[in-house]
Amino acid sequence: MSGSRLLTMTAPVRDPFEIPYHDIGAPDAPPRIALVGGIHGNELNGIYVLAHLARFLRAVVAGERPPLVLSARVVIVPAVNVLGVNLRERTWPFDGTDLNRMFPGYDAGETTQRMANALIQATREAVVRVDVHSSNLDFEELPQVRLYDPSEAERRTARLFGLPAIVERPSSTIFSATLGHAWNALGGQNFILQAGRAGDLQLEHADRVFGALVRFLTRLGVLRGTRLADEDEEVWHFGPRQTLPLASPQSGLFVTKLKPGAWVRGGEHLGYVYDAFDGVLRAEVRAPVSGLLSGIRRQPLLCEGDLVARIQTREELPEGGAETYLYGHGQ
């Protein structure tokens, strides 16, 4: 494998392990863009996309894709949680730590603190940073840009991805140890992409995110020589009070035919909850409001109160909407 090493660490037995990354383009300038995936080892869409993007950009630099030119240095870490990827685990396998609760890290700390610190050092000089996630094992999300207490500049730049939804969230005071939070403290412009479901590779979502990143790099002037077909899908921007998480009124088996990305009307059926023993219909799940279905439950077994869908509304929701479900879904 060609590439640089973010960190090399000894293991209890056998060989040390390393976190490899790609450092592509002019080595004499600081990296302009940093792209990170696989902080959670089972979020395969981002890992797949970033590995392929690195291959693509390396081919551009090697002159194999004329007339394309890479005009700035780009750092890509496809899989931060290397051991988690090998074991298909979200967390760091040795101690079950969630790496995205370890930032900004510490260079003399425990393994995951050192990993967090190494990632910050490798990305701190970049002026634009992107962290790619999927949801968890149970939930599938429309590829979207997530912004946490964004600046006006970030709001504008977020549109350059051309993804169908930009979703603003209040910055969490509880989870202040995420990579996104640490990046915000460093300045620059920072974006979280969220696409699909963990534990699986969904090519449709992955292709969309790959296209979004190529568009993004092109529009930032980092990738030159492409002619973009300027027919973006419509980009919808949702403020912090335009997200409605919908909880199941019943436990049972949840069944739906909807896909994320559908526009639903208030009162429309989203799915059904059946009794897992006798098949009796226990609940009809309906959209309480009209909006864009940005995520839907894919794990049929559910308990009362579990998240079944997320709807982005065109108007602001009344104050006091549940924020409970904003975290724990892939970030």
Residues forming contacts to Zn ion in the complex (CB under 5 A) are: 40, 43, 133, 330
Q: Residue 84 or 271: which CB sits closer to Zn ion?
A: 84
- How far apart are CB 99 and Zn ion at their closest, in Å? 9
Cβ burial, residue 155 (10 Å; 0-12/13-18/19+): middle
CB 184 within 8 A of CB 169: no
- How far apart are CB 135 and Zn ion at their closest, in Å? 8
Nearest residue to 77 via CA among 123, 135, 9: 123
Q: Residue 133 or 297: which CB sits closer to Zn ion?
A: 133
Q: Can you tell me the distance from the alpha carbon of 136 to that of 328, in angstroms, rounded to the nearest whole number?
A: 8
Strand partners, 8: 18
End-to-end Cα distance, the chain: 28
Strand partners, 167: 146, 238
Strand partners, 291: 264
Cβ burial, residue 267 (10 Å; 0-12/13-18/19+): exposed
Largest CA distance in the chain: 67
Q: Residue 40 or 146: which CB sits closer to Zn ion?
A: 40
- How far apart are CB 196 and Zn ion at their closest, in Å? 11
Helix (H, G, I), strand (E, B) or coil at 291: strand
Cβ burial, residue 93 (10 Å; 0-12/13-18/19+): middle
Q: Residue 43 or 168: which CB sits closer to Zn ion?
A: 43
- How far apart are CB 247 and Zn ion at their closest, in Å? 22
- How far apart are CB 27 and Zn ion at their closest, in Å? 30
Phi, psi of 194 (to 5 degrees): -130, 130
Q: Can you tell me the distance from the alpha carbon of 121 to that of 119, in angstroms, rounded to the nearest whole number?
A: 5
- How far apart are CB 117 and Zn ion at their closest, in Å? 19
Strand partners, 254: 273
CA 207 to chain centre: 14
